[in-house]
Structure 1
Amino acid sequence: MTVSTSATVGPAAGTGAAPAISLRELAKHYGDVRAVAGVDLDVEDGEFFSMLGPSGSGKTTVLRLIAGFEEPTAGRVVLGGTDVTARPPFARDVNTVFQDYALFPHLDVLRNVEYGLRVKKVPRAERRERALEALETVRLEGYADRRPAQLSGGQRQRVALARALVNRPRVLLLDEPLGALDLKLRREMQIELKHIQREVGITFVFVTHDQEEALTMSDRIAVFNNGRIEQVATPAELYESPASSFVAGFVGTSNLLTGDLAKAVVGREGTFCIRPEKIHLGADTDAPVRATGVVRDVVYLGSVNHYLVELDGGTTLTVLSQNLRGDTAQAMGRRGERVELAWADAHLIDLSRGEPLTATPGEGEPT
């Protein structure tokens, strides 16, 4: 293992203070398996930062390396300008919230939240005051006397969050903490978590494989693949200007045009991406017709319909259309219909360059 001793590093270039987290050439190998293969990353103070990727991409391992639960094979972990690579977890100014919450079932909510302060031998009156403040922050005032078994999944999640916040860490690490919740509660807690993060001002680093979750909450997102970071960007930048085919396919639904089809549709070779909601089904738009095909299937999703259109060149594209009229029978009746597909130049992303095709402002924009 290659680690460095505790030292202070300077602030990031162009800023007046060191980032909350700096990772430099961070690597973790398990035998011949490279779980993390040389990661460089800065997370600024007060950010809600997400690490997004499929299972096995390295995101959780990076979180554990930041927390000190794993030792790196190479590289450095720097927190607030101080190299903590060789420090144990308890000597780092971070706290972690896990997916299973890890609450003590025999303790009431208040004592669960107080637990970390008891370990640190904080005086009883102070730890009670801080625990009650933490419960108020997560909107659980009045629940201090309950046991975890008497709480809903969302309430237990907030108790775990309060237990982490009560220690007033510089960085809070969250390892897929919403994974056990049902979809409705999960979405409610996404908004709640972001609200709490803004209120307390602590840096949150959130690990998830759910791209919608990351887009909803994050200031910035790092997309992981095979132990490396493919792209770091804001949610809008990540979705509208993916840097690679992997990012385009993993973050949202993406249609890829390659090979002979790309040459026929775009006019030149390469790999191009067009999002389903950017495509118009039919020629009733100012955007030029790009391709023709046949509707092979229609997927009804309540607020939207997904049309699967097989192009004359053989590739199938997904087209998303809002269900404004609520006429499901009419939408389903389009199976087998021959259609034209249109989109604006500005909405086609050239993945060999990682940016949209240039177009004259206003030219080719849909009505």
Structure 2
Amino acid sequence: MPHQAPAETRRPDRRPPDGQPAIRLTGLQKHFDKVRAVDGVDLDIPPGEFFAMLGPSGSGKTTVLRMIAGFELPTAGTIELDGEDVSRLAPFERDVNTVFQDYALFPHMSVQQNVEYGLKVRRVAKAERRGRAAEALRTVRLGDYGDRKPAQLSGGQRQRVALARALVNRPKVLLLDEPLGALDLKLRQAMQVELKQIQREVGSTFLVVTHDQDEALTMSDRIAVFNAGRIEQVGTPVEVYERPASAFVAGFVGTSNLLSGSGAEAVLGRPGVFSIRPEKIRIDDDLAFPAGSGEISATGVVTDVVYAGSTVRYAVALDAGGQLSVVRQNAGEPVRFADGRVRLSWRREHSFQVPEAG
């Protein structure tokens, strides 16, 4: 008979029955008096996906997460987890765990005790909870830190303890509310990679709320971009960045140029609103240099040069009207164009038309 791991150490099956999404939101709304914080959200998240809800402050993303967790009740609409309507269930009745930006670790307890705490409350046997806590700490690369106190850890290590405390309950869905917001830039970048690796190992569905576009693009399989209580676009990082569904998405995700009006018609030959990513544009001071096959070309004047270490950003006022930003990799001292006159060129397919507001 083949060996089978004991039930308490086997990884649970993460697949919902009959191919159900891990999370399904239908017509979800949340009103605070006259404010519609969430205004009709429909969303399916399959099991095992790392999904990001991205948007500015006040866009509704955190309110959606709190409703999924059970901390807020929806004004209208439904929340389903594995096909079960949990819209009116208490937080402890849902198979989810939440990691907040404030890790809320107990300072008087050791790391091991912090991770065990939820299991202790649920009256899991001592030996089992110690084993599961140790396993969770190994998963987040803190297997040798169980005896330390939170004050003896770095910010990144405390974040991983909070993650272990959530993972020890083996939730099918893990909710993360701005989990890296309190970390410095380098640590935040390192933890983005760590979080993605951990998610792949444990197989749970991760749903992260963030206003940091780089964080969403780096970690997630798909992104929902929120604005004013609604979802503007859902797609992979490549889809959202390269083919924004609206001017808002183009401007919020990454840095984008929006060319419209008479400037767009003069340069592109047709009216509309067009998104052109600044790293796609070539800048040259040879005004007579012809555009290549399949390229768009426009002349203008450099109005500003911003040195940003690895890149240099040029602001160019177009002769045809409008302004474009151009990013070049830093290969030395920033180029200072003699009289400021330049020619910009980019491939025609990099002018992506976006729907106009309204």
TM-score (norm 2): 0.91
Give the deviation of 1:312 after TM superposition: 1.4
Using the alignment, how far apart are the partners of 1:285 and 1:138 within structure 2? 52
Correspondence 1:317 to 2:324: yes
After TM superposition, the structure 1 = structure 2 runs for residues 111-126 of structure 1, keeping only pairs within 5 Å, are 111-126=113-128
1:346 aligns with 2:353: no
Secondary structure at the aligned position of 1:343 is classed as: strand
Q: Counterparts of 2:241 and 2:338 in 1: how far apart (Å)?
A: 29
**In structure 2, C-alpha distance between the alignment counterparts of 1:266 and 1:173, rounded to whole Å:** 44
Shift of 1:280: 1.0
Structure 2 residue corresponding to 1:293, chosen from 287, 297, 300: 300
- 8 Å Cα contact 1:298-1:335 kept in structure 2: no
> Deviation digits for residues 243-274 of structure 1, max 9, x if unmatched?
00000000001111111111111111111111
Q: CA deviation at 1:290?
A: 2.3
Q: Distance in 1 between matches of 2:267 and 2:119?
A: 63
**Matches of 1:16 and 1:246 in 2, distance apart?**
36
Give the 4+ runs in structure 1 shifted more than 4 A: none
Do the aligned residues in 2 keep the contact of 1:289 with 1:340 (CA within 8 Å)?
no
Structure 1 residue 35 and structure 2 residue 42: aligned?
A: no
Q: Which residue is equivalent to 1:83? A: 85
Q: Which residue, 178, 182, 185 being the options, matches 1:183?
A: 185
Report whether the alignment pairs 1:306 with 2:306.
Answer: no
Supply the distance in 2 between the matched residues of 1:120 and 1:262 (Cα, whole angstroms): 62
Residues 164-222 of structure 1: per-residue CA shift (max 9 Å, x gap) = 00000000000001000000000000000000000111000000000011000000000
Q: Secondary structure at the match of 2:304?
A: strand
Q: Which residue pairs with 1:213 in the alignment?
A: 215
Partner-residue secondary structure (3-state), 2:215: helix
1:265 maps to what in 2?
267
Most deviating of 299-308 and 154-163: 299-308
CA distance in 2, matches of 1:133, 1:289: 57
SS in 2 for 1:159: helix
TM-score (norm 1): 0.89
How far, CA to CA, are the matches of 1:173 and 1:301 in structure 2?
Answer: 34
| Partner AA of 1:351 in structure 2 | V
CA contact (8 A) 2:296 2:348 kept: no
User: How many angstroms does 1:296 deviate by?
Assistant: 1.2
Name the SS of the counterpart of 1:253 in structure 2. Answer: coil
Which runs of 5 or more residues in structure 1 are unaligned? 1-10, 355-367
Distance 1:136 1:262, change over 3 A: same
Alpha-carbon distance between aligned partners in 2 of 1:316 and 1:16, rounded to the nearest angstrom: 52
Report the 3-state secondary structure (helix = DSSP H, G, I; strand = E; otherwise coil) of the residue aligned with 1:260.
helix
How many residues are paired up? 338
Structure-1 separation of matches of 2:324 and 2:135: 52
Q: Counterparts of 1:133-152 in structure 2 under 5 Å?
A: 133-152=135-154
From 91, 95, 98, the equivalent of 1:96 is 98
Once residues 61 and 220 of structure 1 are traced to their aligned partners in structure 2, the CA distance between those partners, rounded to angstroms, is 19
Letter in 1 for 2:345: A
Paired with 1:137 and 1:127, the residues of 2 have a C-alpha distance of 15
Aligned to 1:172: 174
Q: Give the CA deviation at 1:313.
A: 3.3
RMSD of equivalent CA atoms: 1.7
1:5-63 per-residue CA deviation (whole Å, 9 max, x = no partner) reads: xxxxxx99xx9410000000000000000000010000110000000000000000000
Counterpart amino acid of residue 266 in structure 1:
L
Q: 2: CA distance between counterparts of 1:25 and 1:250?
A: 25
Distance 2:337 2:117 in 1: 61
Residue matched to 1:357: none
Quote how far apart the aligned CAs of 1:352 are. Answer: 2.7
Q: Which one-letter code corresponds to 1:299 in the other structure?
A: V
> More displaced, 339-348 or 21-30?
339-348
- Structure 2's unaligned 5+ residue stretches are 1-14
Contact map agreement 1:132 1:141 (CA 8 A) in 2: yes
Instruction: Give the drift of 1:322.
Output: 1.2
SS for the counterpart of 1:308 is strand
Structure 1 SS opposite 2:320: coil
Distance 1:70 1:60 in 2: 11
Partner amino acid for 2:346? W
Q: 1:272 to 1:229 in 2, by over 3 A?
A: same
How far 1:300 sits from its partner (Å)? 1.1
Q: Is the 1:297–1:307 Cα contact (8 Å) retained in structure 2?
A: yes
Instruction: Work out the CA distance in 2 between the residues paired with 1:302 and 1:337.
Output: 22
Task: State which of 142, 156, 159 in structure 2 corresponds to 1:157.
Answer: 159
Q: 1:353 to 1:44 in 2, by over 3 A?
A: farther
Of 282-291 and 145-154, more deviation after overlay is shown by 282-291
User: Does residue 1:327 correspond to 2:333, yes or no?
Assistant: yes
Question: How far does residue 351 in structure 1 lie from its aligned partner after superposition?
Answer: 0.7
Deviation at 1:343, TM superposition (A): 1.0
Deviation string, structure 1 residues 319-339 (Cα, Å, up to 9, x no partner)? 011123x133xx2x2274201
**2:24 alignment counterpart:** 22
Name the counterpart of 1:246.
248
